[in-house]
Amino acid sequence: MPALNATGRTRIDPAHERTFDGPAKSELLKGPIELYRFGLQPGLWWYDESLLTEMREEYLEASLSDARSQAIDVMMFPRDGLAVSREWNKFGWLMTMKLQHGQSIEAWVGRTSPQPEWTTLPDGRILNGGWVQYLIYDLSKAPAWIFSKQTTVSLFEKWGRMISGVRIRKRG
C-alpha cells in the first residue's frame, strides 16, 4: 500500500533545512504509530510519543513533589526541546495523527536545531532544540479520520486525574 502522503519527494525544501540540526533523513513511518503536533490543523511538524511521555512524567513529578513553591511550567520543556517560539505557537492545542497497521507516511526525520526565542523582540534567549522532529509534507492527501485534536488544558486535566488516583491509593 502506498504512503498516505506519497509524493515521491527526494529532497527537503531548502527553507526547512535550517530547522534540523544536521541533515534530515527520509523515512517511511509505518503504523501502528501515533505522532503529535501543537496546533489546530495537520501541519508540517510532528513529534513522537516520547515527547508526551516526557511531558507527562515531568508534570506528574512536579505535581507530586513536596516543593509546592516551584512553579510548574510543563510547556517550557517541549518549547525548548522543539525550539518553537511563543511567537509561532501558543501550544493551546494538541493534534494527534494515528496510523493503523498497514498504513504509512513519508517523513523527513532529524533533531531540531537551536532557534531564537523571539524574532520581533530579540533578547538573546536561545531555545536549545535537540528533540526529534518529523517533517511531513502533503498531509492533505491523508484521510481526515486519522487526525484528532484536544486542548492542552484537557491533557493536563487528564494527567491531574492520574495524580488524584495516585494520592488516593497512597492514603489508603
b/e map 14-50, b = 16+ CB within 10 Å: eeebebbbeebeeeebebebebbbbbeebebbbbbee
Chain mean position to CA 73? 16
Does residue 153 sit in helix, strand or coil?
A: helix
Averaged over 84-93, what is the pLDDT? 89
41-69 tens-digit pLDDT: 999 999 999 988 888 888 877 777 765 54
Give percent above pLDDT 70 in the chain.
88
What is the grid cell recorded at 114? 537551536
Q: What is the CA angle 35-129-91, rounded to 5?
A: 55
pLDDT in tens, 133-158: 999 999 998 999 999 999 998 988 88
Q: Answer for the pair 129, 55: CB distance below 8 angstroms, yes or no.
A: no
pTM, entire model: 0.85
pLDDT of residue 49: 92
| Integer Cα distance of 23 and 60 in angstroms | 35
Spatial CB neighbours of 46, under 8 Å, sequence gap ≥ 6:
35, 36, 37, 97, 107, 133, 134, 135, 136
| Amino acid 105: pLDDT | 95
Would you state the pLDDT for residue 136? 96
99 band by pLDDT with thresholds 50, 70 and 90 = very high
Can you give the pLDDT at residue 171?
42
166: pLDDT strictly greater than 60: no
